[in-house]
Chain A
Protein backbone atom coordinates (compact mmCIF):
# COMPACT_ATOMS: atom_id res chain seq x y z
CA UNK A 1 0.00 0.00 0.00
CA UNK A 2 1.32 3.40 -0.89
CA UNK A 3 0.00 6.87 -0.37
CA UNK A 4 -1.23 7.00 -3.94
CA UNK A 5 -3.72 4.17 -3.56
CA UNK A 6 -5.42 5.68 -0.57
CA UNK A 7 -5.40 9.21 -1.93
CA UNK A 8 -8.35 9.58 -4.31
CA UNK A 9 -10.93 8.35 -1.79
CA UNK A 10 -13.48 11.12 -1.27
CA UNK A 11 -14.05 12.45 2.24
CA UNK A 12 -17.28 11.31 3.93
CA UNK A 13 -20.19 13.55 2.86
CA UNK A 14 -21.02 15.11 6.23
CA UNK A 15 -22.18 18.65 6.91
CA UNK A 16 -21.58 20.03 3.45
CA UNK A 17 -23.13 23.47 3.94
CA UNK A 18 -21.76 24.24 7.40
CA UNK A 19 -18.16 23.30 7.30
CA UNK A 20 -16.33 24.22 10.54
CA UNK A 21 -13.46 26.65 10.25
CA UNK A 22 -10.86 24.16 11.40
CA UNK A 23 -11.70 21.93 8.42
CA UNK A 24 -11.15 24.73 5.96
CA UNK A 25 -7.93 25.64 7.74
CA UNK A 26 -6.77 22.08 7.50
CA UNK A 27 -7.58 21.98 3.78
CA UNK A 28 -5.44 25.06 3.24
CA UNK A 29 -2.66 23.60 5.35
CA UNK A 30 -2.67 20.59 3.05
CA UNK A 31 -2.58 22.81 -0.01
CA UNK A 32 0.04 25.24 1.28
CA UNK A 33 3.17 23.22 0.32
CA UNK A 34 1.87 23.10 -3.24
CA UNK A 35 1.30 26.82 -3.70
CA UNK A 36 4.85 28.20 -4.13
CA UNK A 37 5.60 25.81 -6.99
CA UNK A 38 2.20 26.34 -8.59
CA UNK A 39 2.38 30.14 -8.44
CA UNK A 40 5.97 30.12 -9.70
CA UNK A 41 5.00 28.04 -12.74
CA UNK A 42 1.99 30.18 -13.60
CA UNK A 43 3.97 33.41 -13.37
CA UNK A 44 7.07 32.24 -15.25
CA UNK A 45 5.49 30.11 -18.00
CA UNK A 46 1.84 31.05 -18.49
CA UNK A 47 2.08 34.86 -18.31
CA UNK A 48 4.79 35.15 -21.00
CA UNK A 49 2.73 32.94 -23.29
CA UNK A 50 -0.31 35.17 -22.84
CA UNK A 51 1.93 38.13 -23.70
CA UNK A 52 3.15 36.30 -26.82
CA UNK A 53 -0.44 35.70 -27.81
CA UNK A 54 -1.25 39.42 -27.43
CA UNK A 55 1.87 40.57 -29.31
CA UNK A 56 1.08 38.19 -32.16
CA UNK A 57 -1.94 40.37 -33.03
CA UNK A 58 0.23 43.49 -33.45
CA UNK A 59 2.33 44.79 -36.29
CA UNK A 60 5.39 45.60 -34.24
CA UNK A 61 8.96 46.00 -35.39
CA UNK A 62 11.12 46.99 -32.42
CA UNK A 63 13.24 49.24 -34.65
CA UNK A 64 10.10 51.33 -35.28
CA UNK A 65 8.33 51.18 -31.90
CA UNK A 66 6.02 54.10 -32.74
CA UNK A 67 4.52 52.26 -35.71
CA UNK A 68 3.07 49.56 -33.45
CA UNK A 69 -0.59 48.84 -34.24
CA UNK A 70 -3.22 46.15 -33.91
CA UNK A 71 -3.50 44.04 -37.05
CA UNK A 72 -5.66 41.11 -36.04
CA UNK A 73 -4.69 37.88 -37.71
CA UNK A 74 -2.50 39.36 -40.45
CA UNK A 75 0.74 38.13 -38.82
CA UNK A 76 -0.61 34.60 -38.99
CA UNK A 77 -1.58 35.12 -42.61
CA UNK A 78 1.95 36.33 -43.29
CA UNK A 79 3.59 33.38 -41.51
CA UNK A 80 1.44 30.95 -43.45
CA UNK A 81 1.88 32.65 -46.85
CA UNK A 82 5.49 33.89 -46.69
CA UNK A 83 7.48 31.28 -48.65
CA UNK A 84 10.42 31.30 -46.20
CA UNK A 85 8.22 30.95 -43.15
CA UNK A 86 6.09 28.33 -44.84
CA UNK A 87 9.19 26.40 -45.64
CA UNK A 88 10.23 26.53 -42.01
CA UNK A 89 6.87 25.02 -41.02
CA UNK A 90 7.50 22.20 -43.49
CA UNK A 91 11.11 21.78 -42.33
CA UNK A 92 9.98 21.53 -38.71
CA UNK A 93 7.54 18.74 -39.54
CA UNK A 94 10.03 16.89 -41.74
CA UNK A 95 12.89 17.20 -39.26
CA UNK A 96 10.80 16.11 -36.30
CA UNK A 97 9.16 13.17 -38.09
CA UNK A 98 12.40 11.88 -39.62
CA UNK A 99 14.40 12.09 -36.39
CA UNK A 100 11.67 10.57 -34.24
CA UNK A 101 10.96 7.65 -36.58
CA UNK A 102 14.61 6.85 -37.29
CA UNK A 103 15.71 7.02 -33.66
CA UNK A 104 12.66 5.03 -32.59
CA UNK A 105 13.43 2.25 -35.09
CA UNK A 106 17.13 2.18 -34.18
CA UNK A 107 16.27 2.39 -30.50
CA UNK A 108 13.97 -0.62 -30.81
CA UNK A 109 16.68 -2.73 -32.44
CA UNK A 110 19.20 -1.72 -29.78
CA UNK A 111 16.72 -2.34 -26.96
CA UNK A 112 15.99 -5.85 -28.30
CA UNK A 113 19.74 -6.54 -28.51
CA UNK A 114 20.32 -5.27 -24.97
CA UNK A 115 17.39 -7.20 -23.56
CA UNK A 116 19.35 -10.46 -23.97
CA UNK A 117 22.08 -11.60 -21.65
CA UNK A 118 25.60 -11.41 -23.10
CA UNK A 119 29.11 -10.69 -21.93
CA UNK A 120 29.69 -7.02 -21.18
CA UNK A 121 26.05 -5.96 -21.46
CA UNK A 122 26.57 -3.21 -18.88
CA UNK A 123 29.53 -1.80 -20.81
CA UNK A 124 27.60 -1.78 -24.10
CA UNK A 125 24.67 -0.06 -22.39
CA UNK A 126 27.04 2.63 -21.10
CA UNK A 127 28.61 3.08 -24.56
CA UNK A 128 25.15 3.48 -26.09
CA UNK A 129 23.93 6.02 -23.54
CA UNK A 130 27.00 8.25 -23.93
CA UNK A 131 25.83 10.16 -27.06
CA UNK A 132 22.80 11.40 -25.13
CA UNK A 133 25.12 12.82 -22.47
CA UNK A 134 27.16 15.06 -24.74
CA UNK A 135 26.10 18.71 -24.43
CA UNK A 136 23.88 19.33 -27.51
CA UNK A 137 25.97 22.23 -28.83
CA UNK A 138 29.16 20.20 -28.36
CA UNK A 139 27.58 17.26 -30.19
CA UNK A 140 26.57 19.53 -33.06
CA UNK A 141 30.10 20.98 -33.23
CA UNK A 142 31.51 17.45 -33.22
CA UNK A 143 29.36 16.47 -36.21
CA UNK A 144 29.90 19.71 -38.08
CA UNK A 145 33.66 20.01 -37.81
CA UNK A 146 35.06 16.66 -36.79
CA UNK A 147 32.86 14.23 -38.71
CA UNK A 148 31.39 16.13 -41.68
CA UNK A 149 34.37 18.30 -42.69
CA UNK A 150 34.89 17.47 -46.39
CA UNK A 151 38.70 17.70 -46.26
CA UNK A 152 39.71 16.04 -43.01
CA UNK A 153 36.49 14.91 -41.29
CA UNK A 154 36.33 11.37 -39.92
CA UNK A 155 33.56 10.27 -42.32
CA UNK A 156 35.56 11.14 -45.43
CA UNK A 157 38.69 9.82 -43.74
CA UNK A 158 37.04 6.42 -43.33
CA UNK A 159 35.65 6.58 -46.90
CA UNK A 160 39.19 7.24 -48.08
CA UNK A 161 40.27 3.79 -46.86
CA UNK A 162 37.71 2.04 -49.05
CA UNK A 163 38.34 4.36 -51.98
CA UNK A 164 34.89 5.93 -51.67
CA UNK A 165 33.82 9.42 -52.75
CA UNK A 166 34.59 12.50 -50.63
CA UNK A 167 31.26 14.32 -50.41
CA UNK A 168 30.68 17.69 -48.79
CA UNK A 169 28.04 16.34 -46.41
CA UNK A 170 26.55 19.57 -45.09
CA UNK A 171 26.36 21.36 -48.46
CA UNK A 172 25.03 18.33 -50.36
CA UNK A 173 22.46 17.10 -47.85
CA UNK A 174 22.04 19.82 -45.20
CA UNK A 175 18.81 18.59 -43.65
CA UNK A 176 19.99 15.00 -43.59
CA UNK A 177 23.21 16.15 -41.92
CA UNK A 178 21.24 17.82 -39.11
CA UNK A 179 18.94 14.80 -38.83
CA UNK A 180 21.80 12.29 -38.58
CA UNK A 181 23.39 14.23 -35.72
CA UNK A 182 20.04 14.37 -33.89
CA UNK A 183 19.30 10.68 -34.49
CA UNK A 184 22.69 9.86 -32.95
CA UNK A 185 21.76 11.83 -29.82
CA UNK A 186 18.14 10.67 -29.49
CA UNK A 187 18.47 6.94 -30.24
CA UNK A 188 19.77 6.26 -26.68
CA UNK A 189 16.68 8.01 -25.27
CA UNK A 190 14.33 5.80 -27.30
CA UNK A 191 16.39 2.72 -26.45
CA UNK A 192 16.10 3.39 -22.70
CA UNK A 193 12.31 3.84 -22.85
CA UNK A 194 11.83 0.69 -24.95
CA UNK A 195 14.23 -1.28 -22.79
CA UNK A 196 12.16 -0.34 -19.74
CA UNK A 197 9.13 -1.55 -21.69
CA UNK A 198 10.76 -4.86 -22.61
CA UNK A 199 11.79 -5.48 -19.02
CA UNK A 200 8.26 -4.93 -17.74
CA UNK A 201 6.92 -7.80 -19.88
CA UNK A 202 5.20 -10.72 -18.19
CA UNK A 203 7.95 -13.35 -18.27
CA UNK A 204 5.62 -16.19 -17.23
CA UNK A 205 3.35 -15.53 -20.18
CA UNK A 206 6.32 -15.62 -22.57
CA UNK A 207 7.57 -18.82 -20.99
CA UNK A 208 4.11 -20.38 -21.34
CA UNK A 209 3.95 -19.37 -25.02
CA UNK A 210 7.38 -20.91 -25.58
CA UNK A 211 6.32 -24.16 -23.92
CA UNK A 212 3.30 -24.20 -26.24
CA UNK A 213 5.72 -24.12 -29.16
CA UNK A 214 5.56 -20.46 -30.22
CA UNK A 215 8.54 -19.27 -32.26
CA UNK A 216 10.64 -16.22 -31.35
CA UNK A 217 8.99 -14.26 -34.15
CA UNK A 218 5.47 -15.25 -33.01
CA UNK A 219 6.30 -14.22 -29.45
CA UNK A 220 7.65 -10.88 -30.70
CA UNK A 221 4.72 -10.28 -33.03
CA UNK A 222 1.87 -11.29 -30.71
CA UNK A 223 3.19 -10.65 -27.18
CA UNK A 224 6.13 -8.24 -27.20
CA UNK A 225 4.94 -5.77 -29.82
CA UNK A 226 1.43 -5.23 -28.36
CA UNK A 227 3.01 -4.76 -24.93
CA UNK A 228 5.53 -2.30 -26.37
CA UNK A 229 2.91 -0.29 -28.22
CA UNK A 230 2.39 2.26 -25.50
CA UNK A 231 6.12 2.58 -24.88
CA UNK A 232 6.62 3.21 -28.60
CA UNK A 233 3.88 5.85 -28.46
CA UNK A 234 5.43 7.43 -25.39
CA UNK A 235 8.88 7.55 -27.00
CA UNK A 236 7.47 9.02 -30.20
CA UNK A 237 5.46 11.68 -28.38
CA UNK A 238 8.11 12.75 -25.87
CA UNK A 239 10.70 12.71 -28.66
CA UNK A 240 8.44 14.90 -30.81
CA UNK A 241 7.94 17.38 -28.01
CA UNK A 242 11.69 17.71 -27.45
CA UNK A 243 12.74 17.68 -31.13
CA UNK A 244 10.04 20.03 -32.45
CA UNK A 245 11.72 22.60 -30.16
CA UNK A 246 15.22 21.84 -31.37
CA UNK A 247 17.36 24.92 -31.78
CA UNK A 248 20.91 23.85 -30.94
CA UNK A 249 21.60 21.52 -33.87
CA UNK A 250 20.06 23.75 -36.54
CA UNK A 251 21.81 26.82 -35.13
CA UNK A 252 25.21 25.11 -34.91
CA UNK A 253 25.42 22.84 -37.96
CA UNK A 254 23.84 25.01 -40.66
CA UNK A 255 22.96 28.29 -38.88
CA UNK A 256 19.51 27.84 -40.35
CA UNK A 257 20.87 28.07 -43.89
CA UNK A 258 20.36 25.78 -46.88
CA UNK A 259 16.68 25.28 -46.12
CA UNK A 260 17.17 23.84 -42.64
CA UNK A 261 15.59 26.69 -40.64
CA UNK A 262 12.88 25.22 -38.43
CA UNK A 263 10.28 27.26 -36.54
CA UNK A 264 12.23 27.74 -33.30
CA UNK A 265 15.19 29.02 -35.34
CA UNK A 266 12.88 31.26 -37.39
CA UNK A 267 11.31 32.69 -34.24
CA UNK A 268 14.79 33.37 -32.85
CA UNK A 269 15.92 35.00 -36.07
CA UNK A 270 12.84 37.08 -36.72
CA UNK A 271 12.96 38.90 -33.43
CA UNK A 272 16.66 38.69 -32.54
CA UNK A 273 17.96 39.74 -35.94
CA UNK A 274 14.99 41.13 -37.87
CA UNK A 275 13.27 42.65 -34.80
CA UNK A 276 9.86 41.59 -36.14
CA UNK A 277 8.16 41.09 -32.78
CA UNK A 278 4.65 40.52 -34.11
CA UNK A 279 5.71 37.98 -36.73
CA UNK A 280 7.98 36.15 -34.30
CA UNK A 281 5.11 35.87 -31.82
CA UNK A 282 2.70 34.53 -34.44
CA UNK A 283 5.28 31.88 -35.44
CA UNK A 284 5.77 31.09 -31.75
CA UNK A 285 2.04 30.62 -31.25
CA UNK A 286 2.00 28.23 -34.23
CA UNK A 287 4.75 26.15 -32.60
CA UNK A 288 2.63 26.05 -29.46
CA UNK A 289 -0.47 24.93 -31.36
CA UNK A 290 1.56 22.14 -32.98
CA UNK A 291 2.92 21.14 -29.59
CA UNK A 292 -0.52 21.16 -27.99
CA UNK A 293 -1.78 18.74 -30.64
CA UNK A 294 1.11 16.37 -29.94
CA UNK A 295 0.88 17.01 -26.20
CA UNK A 296 -2.79 16.06 -26.01
CA UNK A 297 -1.91 12.60 -27.22
CA UNK A 298 1.21 12.48 -25.06
CA UNK A 299 -0.74 13.34 -21.93
CA UNK A 300 -3.23 10.58 -22.71
CA UNK A 301 -0.45 7.98 -23.02
CA UNK A 302 1.35 9.19 -19.89
CA UNK A 303 -1.88 9.15 -17.91
CA UNK A 304 -2.78 5.61 -19.01
CA UNK A 305 0.67 4.33 -17.98
CA UNK A 306 0.41 6.39 -14.80
CA UNK A 307 -2.99 5.00 -13.80
CA UNK A 308 -1.80 1.47 -14.44
CA UNK A 309 1.18 2.15 -12.20
CA UNK A 310 -1.04 3.55 -9.44
CA UNK A 311 -3.48 0.65 -9.57
CA UNK A 312 -0.62 -1.87 -9.61
CA UNK A 313 1.02 -0.30 -6.54
Chain B
Protein backbone atom coordinates (compact mmCIF):
# COMPACT_ATOMS: atom_id res chain seq x y z
CA UNK B 1 0.00 0.00 0.00
CA UNK B 2 2.70 2.43 1.09
CA UNK B 3 4.93 1.39 -1.78
CA UNK B 4 2.12 1.89 -4.28
CA UNK B 5 1.44 5.36 -2.94
CA UNK B 6 5.12 6.25 -3.01
CA UNK B 7 5.32 5.06 -6.61
CA UNK B 8 2.19 7.06 -7.46
CA UNK B 9 3.64 10.26 -6.04
CA UNK B 10 6.84 9.66 -7.98
CA UNK B 11 4.73 9.43 -11.10
CA UNK B 12 2.99 12.72 -10.22
CA UNK B 13 6.41 14.34 -9.80
CA UNK B 14 7.48 13.04 -13.20
CA UNK B 15 4.27 14.38 -14.76
CA UNK B 16 4.83 17.80 -13.18
CA UNK B 17 8.39 17.85 -14.47
CA UNK B 18 7.25 17.00 -17.98
CA UNK B 19 4.47 19.63 -17.95
CA UNK B 20 6.93 22.33 -16.85
CA UNK B 21 9.50 21.26 -19.40
CA UNK B 22 7.00 20.86 -22.26
CA UNK B 23 7.17 24.49 -23.51
CA UNK B 24 10.97 24.25 -23.74
CA UNK B 25 10.87 20.86 -25.47
CA UNK B 26 8.27 22.22 -27.90
CA UNK B 27 10.42 25.29 -28.52
CA UNK B 28 13.42 23.07 -29.33
CA UNK B 29 11.36 20.82 -31.61
CA UNK B 30 9.75 23.75 -33.44
CA UNK B 31 13.13 25.39 -34.01
CA UNK B 32 14.07 22.40 -36.20
CA UNK B 33 10.86 22.49 -38.24
CA UNK B 34 10.16 24.46 -41.41
CA UNK B 35 8.03 27.59 -40.96
CA UNK B 36 5.09 25.87 -42.68
CA UNK B 37 5.24 22.85 -40.34
CA UNK B 38 5.70 25.13 -37.30
CA UNK B 39 2.44 26.97 -37.99
CA UNK B 40 -0.13 24.18 -38.16
CA UNK B 41 -3.14 23.46 -35.99
CA UNK B 42 -3.20 20.70 -34.79
CA UNK B 43 0.58 20.80 -34.22
CA UNK B 44 2.79 18.65 -36.47
CA UNK B 45 4.92 16.72 -34.01
CA UNK B 46 6.57 14.44 -36.53
CA UNK B 47 7.44 16.95 -39.26
CA UNK B 48 10.76 16.70 -41.08
CA UNK B 49 13.81 18.33 -39.48
CA UNK B 50 15.52 21.30 -41.07
CA UNK B 51 18.00 23.96 -39.99
CA UNK B 52 16.15 26.73 -41.86
CA UNK B 53 15.04 28.42 -38.62
CA UNK B 54 18.65 28.73 -37.46
CA UNK B 55 19.80 29.83 -40.92
CA UNK B 56 17.13 32.55 -40.85
CA UNK B 57 18.04 33.65 -37.32
CA UNK B 58 21.74 33.93 -38.07
CA UNK B 59 20.89 36.13 -41.05
CA UNK B 60 22.31 33.74 -43.62
CA UNK B 61 19.32 34.40 -45.88
CA UNK B 62 19.61 38.17 -45.51
CA UNK B 63 18.37 40.22 -42.57
CA UNK B 64 20.19 41.46 -39.49
CA UNK B 65 22.89 39.21 -38.04
CA UNK B 66 22.58 38.51 -34.29
CA UNK B 67 26.35 38.11 -33.92
CA UNK B 68 27.15 41.71 -32.89
CA UNK B 69 24.51 41.54 -30.16
CA UNK B 70 25.70 38.12 -28.97
CA UNK B 71 29.28 39.44 -28.81
CA UNK B 72 28.11 42.56 -26.94
CA UNK B 73 26.25 40.42 -24.42
CA UNK B 74 29.34 38.26 -23.94
CA UNK B 75 31.59 41.28 -23.43
CA UNK B 76 29.16 42.93 -21.02
CA UNK B 77 28.46 39.78 -18.98
CA UNK B 78 32.03 38.49 -18.78
CA UNK B 79 33.63 41.90 -18.05
CA UNK B 80 31.10 42.83 -15.40
CA UNK B 81 31.45 39.40 -13.77
CA UNK B 82 35.22 39.87 -13.58
CA UNK B 83 34.83 43.39 -12.20
CA UNK B 84 32.33 42.07 -9.63
CA UNK B 85 34.84 39.47 -8.45
CA UNK B 86 37.67 42.03 -8.24
CA UNK B 87 35.52 44.27 -6.02
CA UNK B 88 33.63 41.60 -4.08
CA UNK B 89 36.47 39.25 -3.11
CA UNK B 90 38.39 41.79 -0.96
CA UNK B 91 35.11 43.03 0.50
CA UNK B 92 33.99 39.50 1.38
CA UNK B 93 37.42 38.90 2.93
CA UNK B 94 36.97 41.96 5.15
CA UNK B 95 33.54 40.65 6.15
CA UNK B 96 34.48 37.08 6.97
CA UNK B 97 38.10 36.01 7.42
CA UNK B 98 39.37 39.25 8.91
CA UNK B 99 36.14 41.05 9.73
CA UNK B 100 35.82 44.76 10.33
CA UNK B 101 33.82 46.01 13.30
CA UNK B 102 30.04 45.97 12.76
CA UNK B 103 30.52 43.74 9.73
CA UNK B 104 26.89 42.55 9.72
CA UNK B 105 25.71 46.16 9.26
CA UNK B 106 27.93 46.53 6.20
CA UNK B 107 26.63 43.24 4.84
CA UNK B 108 23.05 44.40 5.23
CA UNK B 109 23.82 47.71 3.56
CA UNK B 110 24.92 45.76 0.47
CA UNK B 111 21.73 43.73 0.61
CA UNK B 112 19.53 46.80 0.92
CA UNK B 113 20.95 48.28 -2.30
CA UNK B 114 19.75 45.17 -4.12
CA UNK B 115 16.22 46.00 -3.03
CA UNK B 116 16.36 49.36 -4.76
CA UNK B 117 14.50 48.81 -8.03
CA UNK B 118 16.23 49.48 -11.34
CA UNK B 119 13.69 52.16 -12.25
CA UNK B 120 14.79 54.16 -9.20
CA UNK B 121 17.90 55.38 -10.95
CA UNK B 122 17.10 54.78 -14.60
CA UNK B 123 16.28 58.35 -15.60
CA UNK B 124 19.30 60.10 -14.03
CA UNK B 125 21.56 57.41 -15.47
CA UNK B 126 20.02 57.96 -18.90
CA UNK B 127 20.43 61.76 -18.65
CA UNK B 128 24.00 61.34 -17.41
CA UNK B 129 24.82 58.99 -20.29
CA UNK B 130 23.29 61.32 -22.85
CA UNK B 131 25.20 64.34 -21.57
CA UNK B 132 28.54 62.53 -21.40
CA UNK B 133 28.24 60.70 -24.71
CA UNK B 134 28.08 57.30 -23.03
CA UNK B 135 24.78 56.30 -24.64
CA UNK B 136 25.11 53.17 -26.76
CA UNK B 137 28.39 52.31 -25.05
CA UNK B 138 28.80 48.74 -23.80
CA UNK B 139 31.09 49.83 -20.92
CA UNK B 140 28.29 51.79 -19.31
CA UNK B 141 26.32 48.54 -19.14
CA UNK B 142 29.38 46.82 -17.63
CA UNK B 143 29.39 49.36 -14.77
CA UNK B 144 25.63 49.08 -14.22
CA UNK B 145 25.60 45.28 -14.32
CA UNK B 146 28.44 45.32 -11.81
CA UNK B 147 26.37 47.41 -9.42
CA UNK B 148 23.41 45.09 -10.01
CA UNK B 149 25.41 41.97 -9.09
CA UNK B 150 27.88 43.24 -6.51
CA UNK B 151 25.53 42.85 -3.50
CA UNK B 152 24.68 39.28 -4.49
CA UNK B 153 28.35 38.47 -4.96
CA UNK B 154 29.41 40.00 -1.64
CA UNK B 155 26.74 38.02 0.18
CA UNK B 156 27.53 34.75 -1.56
CA UNK B 157 31.31 35.09 -1.21
CA UNK B 158 30.96 36.13 2.43
CA UNK B 159 29.04 32.95 3.17
CA UNK B 160 31.52 30.80 1.22
CA UNK B 161 34.63 32.42 2.75
CA UNK B 162 33.28 32.11 6.30
CA UNK B 163 33.18 28.36 5.73
CA UNK B 164 37.00 28.42 5.61
CA UNK B 165 38.09 27.50 9.17
CA UNK B 166 40.08 30.30 10.87
CA UNK B 167 42.25 27.66 12.53
CA UNK B 168 43.64 26.65 9.13
CA UNK B 169 44.45 30.25 8.25
CA UNK B 170 46.07 30.85 11.65
CA UNK B 171 48.12 27.65 11.40
CA UNK B 172 49.51 28.69 8.03
CA UNK B 173 50.45 32.09 9.46
CA UNK B 174 52.19 30.48 12.44
CA UNK B 175 54.19 28.41 9.98
CA UNK B 176 55.50 31.70 8.63
CA UNK B 177 53.42 31.99 5.47
CA UNK B 178 52.77 35.56 4.31
CA UNK B 179 49.25 36.80 3.68
CA UNK B 180 49.30 36.51 -0.15
CA UNK B 181 50.58 32.95 0.18
CA UNK B 182 47.88 32.10 2.70
CA UNK B 183 45.21 33.51 0.40
CA UNK B 184 46.50 31.77 -2.72
CA UNK B 185 47.45 28.41 -1.19
CA UNK B 186 44.96 27.96 1.65
CA UNK B 187 41.85 30.10 1.19
CA UNK B 188 41.47 30.07 -2.60
CA UNK B 189 41.39 26.28 -3.10
CA UNK B 190 38.77 25.87 -0.37
CA UNK B 191 36.57 28.69 -1.63
CA UNK B 192 36.96 28.00 -5.35
CA UNK B 193 33.67 26.12 -5.93
CA UNK B 194 31.80 28.95 -4.23
CA UNK B 195 33.62 31.61 -6.24
CA UNK B 196 32.81 29.76 -9.47
CA UNK B 197 29.11 29.52 -8.57
CA UNK B 198 29.05 33.23 -7.73
CA UNK B 199 30.60 34.09 -11.08
CA UNK B 200 28.08 31.91 -12.97
CA UNK B 201 25.10 33.54 -11.23
CA UNK B 202 26.42 37.06 -11.93
CA UNK B 203 26.91 36.02 -15.55
CA UNK B 204 23.29 34.82 -15.79
CA UNK B 205 21.83 38.05 -14.38
CA UNK B 206 23.92 40.22 -16.69
CA UNK B 207 23.09 38.13 -19.75
CA UNK B 208 19.35 38.29 -18.97
CA UNK B 209 19.11 42.02 -18.30
CA UNK B 210 16.78 43.97 -20.58
CA UNK B 211 15.62 47.32 -19.15
CA UNK B 212 19.03 49.06 -18.90
CA UNK B 213 20.14 47.62 -22.23
CA UNK B 214 16.92 48.65 -23.93
CA UNK B 215 17.11 52.24 -22.68
CA UNK B 216 20.86 52.83 -22.88
CA UNK B 217 21.96 51.03 -26.04
CA UNK B 218 21.10 51.45 -29.68
CA UNK B 219 22.78 50.23 -32.82
CA UNK B 220 26.34 49.68 -31.64
CA UNK B 221 26.06 48.25 -28.13
CA UNK B 222 22.79 46.34 -28.55
CA UNK B 223 22.73 43.16 -26.43
CA UNK B 224 21.13 39.80 -27.23
CA UNK B 225 17.90 40.41 -25.20
CA UNK B 226 17.46 43.73 -27.03
CA UNK B 227 17.96 41.89 -30.33
CA UNK B 228 15.20 39.49 -29.26
CA UNK B 229 12.77 42.38 -28.73
CA UNK B 230 12.81 42.67 -32.53
CA UNK B 231 10.60 39.56 -32.52
CA UNK B 232 7.85 41.09 -30.38
CA UNK B 233 5.62 42.00 -33.33
CA UNK B 234 4.70 39.08 -35.57
CA UNK B 235 6.40 38.93 -38.96
CA UNK B 236 4.27 36.46 -40.89
CA UNK B 237 5.43 32.87 -40.56
CA UNK B 238 8.38 33.15 -38.21
CA UNK B 239 7.80 30.66 -35.37
CA UNK B 240 10.77 28.42 -36.20
CA UNK B 241 13.01 31.49 -36.33
CA UNK B 242 11.69 32.79 -32.96
CA UNK B 243 12.25 29.38 -31.39
CA UNK B 244 15.78 29.13 -32.79
CA UNK B 245 16.54 32.65 -31.56
CA UNK B 246 15.13 32.08 -28.06
CA UNK B 247 17.01 28.82 -27.72
CA UNK B 248 20.36 30.14 -28.94
CA UNK B 249 20.19 33.20 -26.67
CA UNK B 250 19.16 31.03 -23.68
CA UNK B 251 21.86 28.38 -24.18
CA UNK B 252 24.61 30.18 -22.21
CA UNK B 253 22.21 30.71 -19.29
CA UNK B 254 21.00 27.11 -19.33
CA UNK B 255 24.63 25.91 -19.37
CA UNK B 256 25.71 28.28 -16.58
CA UNK B 257 22.61 27.50 -14.53
CA UNK B 258 23.02 23.76 -14.65
CA UNK B 259 26.73 24.12 -13.87
CA UNK B 260 25.86 26.13 -10.74
CA UNK B 261 22.78 24.05 -9.90
CA UNK B 262 23.86 23.05 -6.40
CA UNK B 263 24.70 26.60 -5.29
CA UNK B 264 22.01 28.31 -7.37
CA UNK B 265 19.54 28.81 -4.56
CA UNK B 266 22.17 29.99 -2.10
CA UNK B 267 22.99 32.76 -4.53
CA UNK B 268 19.44 33.66 -5.46
CA UNK B 269 18.34 33.85 -1.84
CA UNK B 270 21.40 36.05 -1.19
CA UNK B 271 22.96 33.39 1.00
CA UNK B 272 19.99 33.14 3.37
CA UNK B 273 19.31 29.54 2.32
CA UNK B 274 22.06 26.94 2.09
Contacts and interface: CB of A to CB of B under 8 A. Distances in A.
Contact of A113 (B13, B245, B258): B13
Interface in B1-54: 6-7, 9-10, 12-14, 16-18, 20-21, 23-24, 26-27, 30, 38-43
Contacts of B257: 129, 132-133
Given A37-B154, A137-B225, A129 B261 contact: yes
Given A131-B23, A137-B210, A245-B119, A123 B250 contact: no
Given A124-B13, A157-B41, A34 B116 contact: no
B117 A288 contact: yes
Given A33-B94, A143-B23, A196-B274, A284 B231 contact: no
B30 A127 contact: no
A263 to B, nearest CB: 7
B20 A127 contact: yes
A142 to B, nearest CB: 5
Interface residues on B, range: 35 or more
Interface in A272-303: 272, 277, 280-281, 283-285, 287-288, 291-292, 294-295, 298-299, 301-303
A271 to B, nearest CB: 5
Given A146-B26, A272-B215, A34 B17 contact: no
A128 B250 contact: no
Given A2-B163, A44-B144, A37 B87 contact: yes
B115 A146 contact: no
B109 to A, nearest CB: 8
A49 B120 contact: yes
Interface stretch (A12-20, A203-211, A217-225, A247-255): A247-255
Provide the main secondary structure of the chain B interface: helix
A98 to B, nearest CB: 19
A311 B210 CA distance: 40
B90 A33 contact: yes
Interface residues on A, range: 35 or more
A236 interface: no
A136 B208 contact: yes
Contacts of B113: 41, 45-46
A192 interface: yes
Given A133-B253, A157-B43, A247 B123 contact: no
Interface string A165-202: 01000000000000000001001110011011100100
B146 A52 contact: no
* A-B pairs with lowest CB-CB distance, top 3: A48-B121, A118-B10, A33-B90
